[in-house]
Every structure is written in structure tokens, then in C-alpha cells.
A = this chain, B = another copy of it.
Amino acid sequence: MKKLMNKVDDAVVESLAGMCAAHRDLIRLLPEYKTVIRADAPNAKVAVISGGGSGHEPLHCGCVGFGMLDAACAGEIFTSPTPEQICEAARSTDGGKGILLIVKNYTGDVINFQMAADILRAEGRETEQVIINDDVAVKDSTWTAGRRGVAGTFLVEKIVGAAAEDGGSLGGLKELAERINANVRTMGVALTSCTAPAVGKPTFDLSDDEMELGIGIHGEPGRERVKKMTSRETIEYLANAVLDDLPFDEGDEVLAFVNGMGGTPLGELYIACGDLKKVLDGRGIITARSLVGNYVTSLDMQGCSVTLLKLDALSRTLWDYPVQTPALRWGR
């Protein structure tokens, strides 16, 4: 295993410290809580908070800033943050308008965010949660009851964060988050395994001529292992699985998101994006917005995921809303 790291045990907090040093105009670190908060927190708005295991950067801590999250807490690699971290993230950014927790559907995260919500409510803080489960690949999985939360989470955080910035109420934001989650679907593919630093060897074995379709973002098994396919074949498989699930219909407007798993170069992701556009055109789906890049990663895994979000006028406007975070910046 070769990684740009010092001590493995320090990797998460050192990475967060580096991120905050690079973006000190936007964010700051609560190092003892491995939590990143907006530099201008708290604000007189609903505090939108997320978090999860590390190894998916820039999700979640890179999503903190104007128009997206107010705080995010980082667990160890592929491990949920603790209720204590989540509570501190909320306390540090609570502007008195309520707290919305955005949680990816993994058992550890669900339990710890639920405990945090209970504690925060006991402190008199109005708190709601939404569970994201956009991965169509498998029903239950290694670490999940029900579907996994994957790259769609990034879109939920952007859109709900914009609505919060725009003065949305806690109830309205929870409803919006649930609606976005209901309209977003994802499926991914691994070309190689990731290597967790504490383990030091690949999470799973994959031969030189194989791919894992429906891979989880921690390297959990997907739907099937197949012989290496072209980009076009791979993207058709993923896109069709996603399209048929919601289902998406002819004439629908979508945000098309090709997400890299961390080790795949941008040039390849753009090839995949072109192939996705062809599938969508062929089905009469309108690609109203696109996002291509490494946003919800799995350490150094090679591969990508395809996410489609059915847009309406509101979600499109909120997607376009100004945002200033390490991961996404535009419009202000």
C-alpha cells in the first residue's frame, strides 16, 4: 500500500486540517470532534448537517459552506461518526431555526444520528432527520437494511442546503429532502478495489479482466461480477438500471451525475458522461444539468457511478443557487 499519509491513525484529522487550511475563507475545524463547520456559523437559518465515515472526500466535509452544509463530521475511514460528534456539529451551528440531519442509509450512521437527534431534542433543539437511500444495486447489503445511500447524497446536500440558505423552514426542508431522495437513483461500478489504510491491502479481489457492477462505496459487493466491458456497455448497464427503477420517463428533465470513485481520471469520466448522454438521448430524457467529477469517492477505487435526479422547476433553481464550498463553487 502506498498512500500520501503520515500515521494511519492521524490520517482523518490531518486531512481535515489540510482542507480547512486550504479553505479558511469558507470553513473551520473543530479538531477534537473531527468536525468541519462554516467559518461564519451560526447563521439565522436551519442548520443542515451531515457526516459519515471518511474515505468519500469531498463528501461530506468538503460540502460545508454557503448554500450547502453548515457542518459535517467525519468518522474514521468507512466508520460512522459518534453521536457526540454529531451533537457538537449541531450545537456549533444551531441558529435557533432548527437542525436537519442528512444521513446515508448505513446501519451505523442511522443508529448514531438517531441517538444524536434524541440528545439534541432533549436539549430543546428542534431536530429532524432524512435518510438517503439512492443506490438501486442491491436491496439489503453488508452494512445496510434496505438500500444504501451513495452519490445521490451529494445532490440532496446541495439542493437542501440552497433551500436552507434561502430561508426554508425545518419542516419544509425535511419534506424537500425526502422528495429529492424519492427522485434520485444511483448505481456504480468498480474497476479496482479500494485499499483502506488501516487494512493495508485491497478490500476485495478483482481480476484484471473483471468489473463489479453495483459496487458499494465501501467496496461492498454489488449485483454481479462480469468480464471487463467498454465504457458504453458499462454505462448502458448502469443507466438502464437507474432509469428503469424510478422509473424515468420520456420527456423527463434530469440532472445527470457521473461520479468518480477516486482513482479514475477525469478524462475517463468524461467518456462515460458522453456515453450516458447517448443513453438519455435515446430514451428521450432531457439532460438539463450535468455534474462530472470525483465527489463521492471510495478512497483510491477506480470506477464510477451514474446518478440521475428527476428535476422540477424548484429543484433546478435550487441546484443553480450560489454555492461556496471546497467541493462546489459557483454563482457568488
Most chain B beta carbons < 10 A, residue from A2, A19, A232, A262 = A2
B329 contacts A271, CB within 8 Å? no
- Residues from 230 to 270 in A contacting B, C-beta threshold 8 Å: 230-232, 234, 258, 262-270
B266 contacts A4, CB within 8 Å? no
Chain B's closest residue to A265 (CB) is B262
Q: Nearest Cβ distance between residue A230 and chain B, in whole angstroms?
A: 5
Q: Which residues of B contact A267 (CB under 8 A)?
A: 11, 15, 54-55, 57, 297, 299
Q: In this assembly, does A16 line the interface, its C-beta being within 8 Å of a C-beta of chain B?
A: yes
A15 contacts B329, CB within 8 Å? no
B231 contacts A2, CB within 8 Å? no
Q: In this assembly, does A140 line the interface, its C-beta being within 8 Å of a C-beta of chain B?
A: no
Given contact pairs A11-B271, A22-B273, A2 touches B192 in the complex (Cβ within 8 A): yes
Chain A contact residues: over half helix, strand or loop, or mixed? mixed
Q: Considering the chains assembled together, what is the distance between the CA atoms of A327 and B302 in angstroms?
A: 20
Q: In this assembly, does A118 line the interface, its C-beta being within 8 Å of a C-beta of chain B?
A: no
Interface size class for chain A? 35 or more
Q: Which residues of B contact A228 (CB under 8 A)?
A: 2
Q: Which residues of B contact A303 (CB under 8 A)?
A: 4
A4-B304, A15-B274 given; name 16 further pairs at CB < 8 Å. A2-B211, A3-B191, A4-B191, A4-B231, A4-B264, A11-B267, A18-B272, A18-B273, A19-B270, A19-B292, A22-B291, A23-B290, A55-B267, A263-B263, A263-B265, A331-B332
Out of B1, B6, B234, B297, which one reaches A232, CB within 8 Å?
Answer: B6
A21 contacts B290, CB within 8 Å? yes
Given contact pairs A18-B273, A273-B21, A274-B21, A4 touches B268 in the complex (Cβ within 8 A): yes
B302 contacts A2, CB within 8 Å? yes
B269 contacts A4, CB within 8 Å? yes
Q: Which residues of B contact A6 (CB under 8 A)?
A: 230-232, 271, 275
Q: In this assembly, does A58 line the interface, its C-beta being within 8 Å of a C-beta of chain B?
A: yes
Q: Which residues of B contact A21 (CB under 8 A)?
A: 273-274, 277, 287, 290
Q: Nearest Cβ distance between residue A324 and chain B, in whole angstroms?
A: 8
Q: Which residues of B contact A292 (CB under 8 A)?
A: 18-19, 22
Q: Nearest Cβ distance between residue A30 and chain B, in whole angstroms?
A: 16
Chain B's closest residue to A10 (CB) is B271
Q: Which residues of B contact A1 (CB under 8 A)?
A: 208
Given contact pairs A4-B304, A294-B294, A304-B4, A273 touches B19 in the complex (Cβ within 8 A): yes
CB<8 Å pairs between A and B, sample of 9 = A2-B302, A3-B191, A4-B269, A5-B230, A14-B270, A22-B273, A265-B299, A266-B294, A267-B299
Chain B's closest residue to A266 (CB) is B57
Q: Which residues of B contact A266 (CB under 8 A)?
A: 57-58, 62, 262, 294, 297
Q: Nearest Cβ distance between residue A232 and chain B, in whole angstroms?
A: 5
